[in-house]
Structure 1
Amino acid sequence: MTTAPAPHFPVVVVGGGQAGLAMSRELSVRGIAHVVFEKHRVGHAWRTQRWDSFCLVTPNWQCLLPGFAYAGADPHGFMPRDEIVAYVESYARHIEAPVREGVAVTRIAPAPGGFALETSEGAVTADAVVLAVGGYHRPNIPRSAERLPTGILQVHSSAYRNAESLPEGAVVVVGSGQSGCQIAEDLHLAGRAVHLVTGSAPRCPRVYRGRDAVDWLADLGQYELPVERHPLGAGVRRKANHYLTGRGGGRDIDLRRFAAEGMRLYGRLDGVDPGGAMRFRADLAANLDGADAVYNGICELIDRHIAEAGIDAPPGGRYAPVWQPAADQPQDLDVAASGVSAVVWATGFISDWSFVDLPLFDGSGYPRHQRGVTAVPGVYVLGLPWLHTWGSGRFVGVGRDADYLGDAVAAHLAAQLGTDEPVRRSA
């Protein structure tokens, strides 16, 4: 009995989010046959891992997927969650992406002349593979969470929906990156007692000198800044994003103002005692000061640009703290005695590349690459933060990266066939 060969594709794109779809579009315009395997549905993360009041923190005009720029009536507004999902789904239809939803890729390994992939629908082979799955794969919750009392509800930020979904009582939010700060604000506005555990995330002004700060930063070329030119180099990939919000038309997030209004702030979580008390580092003041320093540094950058370009703009200024931690700032919190009913872990994600059985990772498990091109010929990564620039992990920059990789994939396939013509084979 002869076994039928596995279906073959010139290119397999793993992941049907905005990165995978942008890659699909760039392959299509080059005449390269391919398939996109999406484990869930197009727009899955936007649909299922964002809370009800979630909005983009970047203006709608930055939604620049290749060949599908934002064309709505509010370019300087901020799309809410459901509109983001609709935008991504509309893009998939617009480019007629060959997406196979509900197909999980469980292993990628070398094969003669290319790669063998195991999927939930069977085996396939490919000449090239693009990993467009981002880097946020599994919720990161510290093991110390196991010491909290069993009666306290614990949810990761990706599972938080609204204040009403949590039991009555105070809520601890661990983490002051974008998600943590916005969820803390959501709970605060709903009238809940909130304890926010801070970290070193920086913050950014929403509007400064008459324009959204994103507009100014775009004029300054910040979203095109390559990782090699950043002062931290590749280390910036491990840094938290600036916190601000697009909610209510967009505004700053000022943790000091929240504190003045009754929110309790703490330093970084240092652990949980066996009895369930959370312990914090004595770094709250440093965390707040560091975030404000970045905020004011962005204002200074914009000021210099305005002065050098001779732009007529309203006067600027600097943020002055509206609240300071007390000298005897608490360094622990007995959650049971404080009426805490829930903890939201806004502590990020862990990357899980275990399905990729190829030698392309560094000692920390991060894929080694140069602008998305890995050391394994025919394997590419796309959609990672700071893949090439600050805009790489965003709607504004993923298309530029996909265009670059489209040329790289075309060159790889042409070299395999010994031709300069793009590949037009289909499965």
Structure 2
Amino acid sequence: MAGILDVVVVGAGSAGLGVSYFLKQQGRDHQVLERGRIGETWRTQRWDSFRLNSPNIRSLLPGDAPDISEPWGASTQHQFVAYLESYVERHRLPVITDVPAEELSREDGLFLVATPRGILRARNVVIASGSLNCPKRPPESAELPITLRQLDSSAYRSAAELERGAVLVVGSGQSGGQIAEDLALAGRSVFLATSRVGRLVRHYRGGDIFNWMTLSGYLDMPRREIILPSGKLPPRGLLGATHTISLQSLSAQGVVLLGRFLGMRNGSLEFGDNLDEHIRFADESSANLRRFIDDYIQRVGLNAPPAENDPAELIAPRLPHPPIRSIELATSGIRSVIWCTGFRGDFRWIKIPDTIDDDGQPIHEDGTGFAPGLYFSGLDFASTRKSGILAGVAEEAARLVDHLARRTAG
């Protein structure tokens, strides 16, 4: 691995491939390192019935024409992985698979990327491994008995692979809601420990919600306006890939709704008294988004169909009465717990001072690191609401590569 590259890109998912496309357009000598196969996370961290939340037309990588079949369809992870592979081949991107980046350091103004095959030297590095590839569990997970199978949403595949019995799903964001529905449709008894998460309808006023969010500028909202008073970023709202999923619709399918999971006490699973609040918050967030779209339609004078109610939002919730605050594990029939409680990135391999904060996450400004020549692509909410999702790949990649070019020229 002799010679000095202009750029090393770490990660051959959508973010890394988008950056590679623009680097190639500029004629920059670069390599894309992938720890496994192209789109490894898409291959290994999705369940069998999974489909992309963004429609095909809004999931294209830069340089690809929008004249595709089923533009408003929802691809499976297998279809999307095939798309990523074809993208690499069609655009002749320099991807090296099965070569993980083991350590990143800096010496004499150059970045050193250590791999099992040797060291790559580069003037710039773009880390495109994302911030959503390592599952997080709350500390309360350690309190559960070893007889109870625990797995993360990234390890769930289907109801058939779980032990017989009921399933507790913890977290009601995108993964939690979709997995709870998948289990219910398979005939399993499901308990859902809810959380304070928003909701999105799948279709509204004659169009896909993703299209409306793109056109209206909703996805362009900057990070500073999204971040919570606690300093944390909110979870993505519950969105079904092909239809609206709400806590109400899940309850109508037999899912038992609970408040926030609090842990174990005296052999029982304990839950908070906040289910009504969680339902109300999801309802309000959906209404706020619809009002945002209504305002946009009126402002630009679009001839869109009138607003309509979604059946999944109209259905009355079927709630336990009285509310369930405690479930005795021994008699509940619950045999599995699926943690849908978020992800984080693994950046421990970066050994450059002042690039990672105390929480182990990148220090950056809109994806630009504070070490000159270091960039991060694909971070969730890095600069706007669409950062970290497919709809934001082209814009972010172009911006980072443009910054890199101006820095190099300077």
Q: What is the Cα deviation at residue 366 of structure 1?
A: 2.6
In 1, Cα distance between equivalents of 2:98 and 2:229: 34
Amino acid at match of 1:343: V
SS in 2 for 1:336: helix
In 2, Cα distance between equivalents of 1:128 and 1:234: 34
Does the 8 A contact of 1:21 with 1:92 survive in 2?
yes
Which sits farther off after the overlay, 385-394 or 177-186?
A: 385-394
In 2, Cα distance between equivalents of 1:119 and 1:274: 49
SS in 2 for 1:308: helix
5 Å-filtered alignment, 1:180-199, equals: 180-199=176-195
CA distance 1:411–1:305, change in 2 (3 Å) = closer
1:148 aligns with 2:144: yes
* Structure 1 partner of 2:112: 116
Q: Find runs of 4+ consecutive structure 1 residues off by over 6 angstroms.
A: 233-237
Q: What is the Cα deviation at residue 43 of structure 1?
A: 0.8
Amino acid at match of 1:211: G
In 2, Cα distance between equivalents of 1:234 and 1:42: 38
Amino acid at match of 2:144: L
Given candidates 54, 69, 73, the residue that maps to 1:73 is 69
* Structure 2 partner of 1:352: 346
Q: What is the Cα deviation at residue 134 of structure 1?
A: 0.3
CA distance 1:206–1:349, change in 2 (3 Å) = same
1:296 aligns with 2:287: yes
5 Å-filtered alignment, 1:316-395, equals: 316=307, 319-320=313-314, 322-323=316-317, 325=319, 328-358=322-352, 359-395=354-390
In 2, Cα distance between equivalents of 1:231 and 1:142: 23
Does the 8 A contact of 1:237 with 1:386 survive in 2?
no
SS in 2 for 1:270: strand
5 Å-filtered alignment, 1:10-409, equals: 10-228=6-224, 230=225, 232=227, 238-246=233-241, 250-273=242-265, 275=267, 277-316=268-307, 319-320=313-314, 322-323=316-317, 325=319, 328-358=322-352, 359-409=354-404
Q: What is the Cα deviation at residue 215 of structure 1?
A: 1.9
In 2, Cα distance between equivalents of 1:236 and 1:211: 34
CA distance 1:342–1:112, change in 2 (3 Å) = same
Does the 8 A contact of 2:8 with 2:31 survive in 1?
yes
Unmatched tracts of structure 2, length 5 or more: none
Amino acid at match of 2:258: Y
SS in 1 for 2:303: coil
Structure possessing the higher radius of gyration over alpha carbons: 1
In 2, Cα distance between equivalents of 1:333 and 1:105: 45
Which sits farther off after the overlay, 47-56 or 258-267?
A: 258-267
In 1, Cα distance between equivalents of 2:48 and 2:362: 33
CA distance 1:407–1:257, change in 2 (3 Å) = closer
CA distance 1:231–1:109, change in 2 (3 Å) = closer
In 2, Cα distance between equivalents of 1:409 and 1:309: 36
Does the 8 A contact of 2:223 with 2:383 survive in 1?
yes
SS in 2 for 1:65: coil
Q: Deviations over 1:145-192 (max 9, x none)?
A: 233232222211101111111121111111111011100000011111
Does the 8 A contact of 2:143 with 2:263 survive in 1?
no
CA distance 1:37–1:237, change in 2 (3 Å) = farther
Q: What is the Cα deviation at residue 304 of structure 1?
A: 2.2
CA distance 1:336–1:68, change in 2 (3 Å) = farther
CA distance 1:384–1:120, change in 2 (3 Å) = same
In 2, Cα distance between equivalents of 1:272 and 1:351: 28
Amino acid at match of 2:360: G
Amino acid at match of 1:335: L
Does the 8 A contact of 1:7 with 1:123 survive in 2?
no
In 1, Cα distance between equivalents of 2:18 and 2:196: 32
Q: What is the Cα deviation at residue 7 of structure 1?
A: 4.5
CA distance 1:187–1:101, change in 2 (3 Å) = same
Unmatched tracts of structure 1, length 5 or more: 416-427
Percent identity between matched residues is 37
CA distance 1:107–1:394, change in 2 (3 Å) = same
The TM-score normalised by the length of structure 1 is: 0.90
In 2, Cα distance between equivalents of 1:270 and 1:356: 34
In 2, Cα distance between equivalents of 1:339 and 1:347: 22
Amino acid at match of 2:53: V
Does the 8 A contact of 1:227 with 1:233 survive in 2?
no
CA distance 1:311–1:402, change in 2 (3 Å) = closer
In 2, Cα distance between equivalents of 1:261 and 1:20: 39
SS in 2 for 1:223: helix
